[in-house]
Amino acid sequence: MNIFIKYLFTILLTGCWVGNMSAQVLLEENELVGEKEYFSIEEALKNPSRVYKLNLSNQELTDFPEEIFLFVRLQVLDLYGNNLMSIPAEINTLQNLQFLNLGENKLKSLPPEIGDLPNLLMLDAATNNLEYFPSEICNLPLIQSINLEDNALVNLPGNIGNLTELINLGVRGNKLTTLPESFCDLKMLQAVDLSENSLRELPDSIGRLSNLMIFDIHKNELLEVPPGISRMKNIPYLNMAENELRNIPADIGRLAGLRMLDLSKNALTELPSEIKNLSGLYELNVSDNKLVTLSSSVGNLSRLGVLNLEKNALQNLPPEIGNLAELAELNVSSNILKSLPQEIGKLGDLKTMNLYNNQLSKLPQTIGELSKLEELIINYNSLESVPSTVSGLKQLKVLDLSNNKLTGLPAEIGELKNLITLNLKNNQINSLPETIQNFTQLEYLDIRNNELTEKEVIKMKSKLSSFVKLKL
């Protein structure tokens, strides 16, 4: 999960405080933070009436300590990382409990009595052996975060829609095949992770989750995306990777707030032209699909910073790709490109371009206009020459030209004074230009499996710094 997603989840979880709590009974947030956290039953028993936070995580407990029920003011209970097989029904006597962490135990079930905890805000029961989730828990009036990841749940309760305050729901890594219709009543949801299940469809009413900021449904068995998803107009992150999608509905163009869209590892043959309406999109990943052409409408994504087209069947890129003025990363590796459009030179903000494993026999002269490019990967192609305009790549640090058909390099390559890594392995190079002596920052040069004579090798060594790691 990338930094953007971690940040959003942190905001959601740390924001799980509700103003409806009874001030006479519960400590407010600022008070609770200042209270002592107890790490053993023995220590807590010395002053049971002052125990608000009890942390018994990672203590190899096999049984639930009944002494916990003496701490009637307990608001935070952490039992993470033990070997608990069950939780007693008496858990409902801890009426002040707000945060309950039961993650990484050996629980096969949760007691329905958890549903009697009126002040519970967060429940974490991830990484157990749960096969069902009690419907009684769906009656909790204030709960905002539930984590059930990495269990064995085959379904969610039909009344899950009763959790009207739920903001964050994690159900990754279970065995879900369907979602109950009431799931779409969770209108306060901002983050939901349904990844790594066996879902084959989503209810069309999924669009009612209009407050979603994070929707992760990667690694399921989805065959299609319901048009209703278009109602999530403000969602910034949508991950539908690793499904069985063959097309994307045109309505996806209505997701005006989308910043990151991951459609990788599906069976897509094209993208709808309506994708051009995603004017705020920053990252688009359609790698590992079956795209034969790339819609020219992609050129309308003026805010796009990352474009991943790896592992498709693209034979060319549309000239409109040159309109992506803010593009910083472009990955078109493992396609069947035979040429690049001249407009590629308009990508003035591009820093990384990966063209690995294509069928390129030449590069456009305009490639030298990529003045901010730092990494250029063109290995495993059919390049016979490098244009002299490559001298314009003043910021280039990594250049991989290995496994091509090069017989030499232009003298202008010596102007790449920031170059750190140069890979020329497996070509037909018989000499290198004198200007390689200008590579003052070079640290690594791989020239293996070329046609350099011993005399040329000696000459090359004399031109390079002794600090350069050579592969001959």
pLDDT tens figures, 77-97: 999 999 999 999 999 999 999
Instruction: Report the pLDDT value the prediction gives residue 1, as an integer from 0 to 100.
Output: 44
Instruction: Report the pLDDT value the prediction gives residue 3, as an integer from 0 to 100.
Output: 38
Residue 278: which residues within 8 A CB-CB, separation 6 or more?
Answer: 252, 253, 255, 256, 258, 261, 301
pLDDT band at 235 (very low <50, low <70, confident <90, very high): very high
3-state secondary structure of 353: strand
Phi, psi angle pair for 463, to nearest 5°: -90, -20
> Residues 75-81: contacts with CB within 8 Å, 24+ apart?
75/26, 75/27, 75/32, 75/99, 75/119, 76/32, 76/37, 76/52, 77/101, 78/54, 79/105, 80/104, 80/105, 80/124, 81/57, 81/105
Specify which residues 399 forms β-bridges with.
Answer: 376, 422
Q: Which residue has the tokens 């910073």?
A: 305
pLDDT of 461 > 90? The answer is no
Instruction: Report the pLDDT value the prediction gives residue 11, as an integer from 0 to 100.
Output: 41
pLDDT of 278 > 60? The answer is yes
Mean pLDDT of the chain: 93
Q: How far apart are CA 240 and CA 176, in angstroms?
A: 16
pLDDT band at 15 (very low <50, low <70, confident <90, very high): very low
Instruction: Find out whether 278 and 253 touch, Cβ atoms under 8 Å.
Output: yes
Instruction: Find out whether 151 and 129 touch, Cβ atoms under 8 Å.
Output: yes
Alpha carbon of residue 442 to chain centroid: 33
**Cα separations (Å) of 77 from 48, 73, 303, 345, 413?**
14, 11, 45, 58, 64
pLDDT band at 244 (very low <50, low <70, confident <90, very high): very high
Which tokens in the block code for residue 274? 């309506």
pLDDT of 385 > 90? The answer is yes
Q: Please name which of 434, 330, 357, 441 lies closest in space to residue 395, comparing C-alpha atoms.
A: 441
> Residues 407-412: contacts with CB within 8 Å, 24+ apart?
407/451, 408/432, 408/433, 409/433, 410/385, 410/386, 411/435, 412/388
Per mean pLDDT, which range of 20-34, 144-158, 335-349, 363-377 is the poorest? 20-34
Residue 9: which residues within 8 A CB-CB, separation 6 or more?
Answer: 168, 191, 214
Residue 238: which residues within 8 A CB-CB, separation 6 or more?
Answer: 215, 232, 255, 258, 260, 261, 262
Share of the chain above pLDDT 70, in %: 95
pLDDT of 116 > 50? The answer is yes
> For the residues 127-144, what does the mean pLDDT come to?
97
Alpha carbon of residue 299 to chain centroid: 24
Instruction: Find out whether 266 and 285 touch, Cβ atoms under 8 Å.
Output: no
Instruction: Report the pLDDT value the prediction gives residue 95, as an integer from 0 to 100.
Output: 96
Task: Tally Cβ neighbours within 10 Å of residue 361.
Answer: 14
Q: How far apart are CA 137 and CA 130, in angstroms?
A: 14
Instruction: Find out whether 450 and 427 touch, Cβ atoms under 8 Å.
Output: yes
pLDDT per residue as tens digits for the range 309-338: 999 999 999 999 999 999 999 999 999 999
Radius of gyration (Cα) for the chain, nearest Å?
A: 29
Alpha carbon of residue 290 to chain centroid: 21
Instruction: Report the pLDDT value the prediction gives residue 465, as an integer from 0 to 100.
Output: 84
Q: How far apart are CA 220 and CA 236, in angstroms?
A: 21
Share of the chain above pLDDT 90, in %: 89
Task: Look up the CATH number of domain 31-141.
Answer: 3.80.10.10
pLDDT band at 423 (very low <50, low <70, confident <90, very high): very high
pLDDT per residue as tens digits for the range 96-113: 999 999 999 999 999 999
Which tokens in the block code for residue 133? 């989730």
- Per-residue DSSP letters for 128-168? S------GGGGG-SS--EEE--SS------TTGGG-TT--E
pLDDT band at 466 (very low <50, low <70, confident <90, very high): confident
Q: Any idea how long the chain is? A: 472
Specify which residues 261 forms β-bridges with.
Answer: 238, 284
Rounded to a whole number of angstroms, the distance between the first and last alpha carbons of the chain is: 39
pTM over 0.75: yes
Q: Where are the domains of the chain?
A: 31-141
Q: How far apart are CA 314 and CA 91, in angstroms?
A: 59
Per mean pLDDT, which range of 24-33, 246-255, 297-306, 354-363 is the poorest? 24-33
Helix (H) or strand (E) holding 470: strand 469-471
